[in-house]
Structure 1
Amino acid sequence: MSMEQLTKQTAGVINAVTKQPKWDKDTLYAGIQKILIEKREKAESDEAYLEMLLNNAAFYIGHTNGMNNFLFQSIDKETFYSPDSFKVYLSNLRTMISDPAEIQKIAERQRAFVLKGETVEEKARHGELAYMTTKIVNDLLLDFLTTFYHPNNKEHMQPFMEYSAKVVVETVFKFCNTYASLQIDAIPGKKDLH
């Protein structure tokens, strides 16, 4: 199959996934805003809030990378894992990524990107946008993979197995990032998030 077909197939799955009510733009934004407000209220200082945003973005980055690895292995081995296998993998992944040392490692690599800016306000704005983007990408990839590994979808997902694992993972990840960017760009007054 051609790249055009892979792109079309990926777009079809993403489109089906994002028709769920939780992916409605207003619902999605309201949910994330609520989480950000709760995080801000829990933080003892601006610096603690920035660290919380950085650590949460680091968690999502690590979690997304782990799911990408799972998809890579699946395509590479031309194996459809059961939903239960995927759940076990996710549970193990969450445990590994939740390890403070692992979070710290990812956070330090991402610090300059997530907390860009000169002032606390600029850093918070960038941190909130990074948090939202990494959360949306992670959640969308999770929904994509849950759909991918659903036993009723095996026949529809079979064409993905005809590509290299690297190409499939890059294509799916690109779609998730593009969708997240479109959602973030649609936020009214996104410059004044906090």
Structure 2
Amino acid sequence: MSMELLTKQTAGVINAVTKQPKWEKEALLEGIQKILVEKRGKVDSDEAYLDSLLQNVAFYVNHTNGMNNFFFQSIDKETFYTPESFKVYLSNLRTMVKDPEELQKMMDKQRDFVLKGETIEHQARHAELAYMTTKIVNDLLLDFLMTFYHPNNREPMQPFMEYSAKVVVETVFKFCNTYASLQINQLPGKENLN
């Protein structure tokens, strides 16, 4: 099978997933803005807010990496896992990525990227963008995989098994990142987060 076919197949699944109401631009913006307001309200300083965003970015990066690893194994073994086994994996993954040591390692790796800027306001805007991006990528990959592992979708998802696991995971992840970037660039008020 050609890369063109894999790209077309991936685009088709992403397109179907993003037709859900929660992926409409307005719903997405409102949801993220609500979360950011809640996060800001839970802390008593700008530094604590930045730390909270950095911690969340680290969580989402680790969570996304874990889902990619599961997906890689699935494609590599040419195995469709059951939705139940995927949910069990997600539960275990959540516990694992909340581990303080694992979270701290990723926070250290992401710190310079997430907290760019000369002023605390600029750092907060950049951290919010990083948070939004990692959250959207994680949520979209999760929805993609829930669709992929749904028993009714095995036949239409079979073509994914004909590629190398690395190529499939990279292609799906690239689509998730591109979609996240497009959504963020189209969000009203995004210019206030640059």
Q: TM-score range by the shorter chain?
A: over 0.9
Deviations 1:32-64 (A, max 9, x none): 000000000111100000000000010000000
Q: How does 1:10-89 map to 2 (within 5 A)?
A: 10-89=10-89
The normalised TM-score by structure 2 is 0.98
Q: Deviations 1:78-108 (Å, cap 9, x if unpaired)?
A: 0000000000000000000011111111010
Give ranges in structure 2 of 5+ residues lacking alignment: none
Gaps of at least 5 residues in structure 1 are none
Partner of 1:132: 132
Q: CA deviation at 1:158?
A: 0.3
Contact 2:126 2:193 in 1 (8 A): no
User: Which amino acid in structure 2 is aligned with residue 101 of structure 1?
Assistant: E
Q: Which residue of 1 aligns with 2:109?
A: 109
Separation in 2, partners of 1:43, 1:167: 42
Measured in 2, the distance between the counterparts of 1:32 and 1:58 equals 17
The residue identity in structure 1 corresponding to 2:171 is T
Secondary structure at the counterpart of residue 63 of structure 2: helix
How far residue 5 of structure 1 moved from its aligned partner, in angstroms, is: 0.1
Counterparts of 2:146 and 2:172, CA distance in 1 = 13
RMSD over aligned Cα atoms: 1.0
Contact 1:125-1:191 at 8 Å conserved across structures: no
| Kept in 1: contact 2:83–2:150 (CA 8 A) | yes
The aligned length equals 194
Which residue identity is paired with 2:17? V
Asked if the contact 1:17/1:144 (under 8 Å) is kept, the reply is: yes
Structure-to-structure mapping, 1:88-103, within 5 angstroms: 88-103=88-103
Instruction: Quote the residue 1:149 is aligned against.
Output: 149
- Whole-angstrom distance in 1 between the partners of 2:41 and 2:56: 15
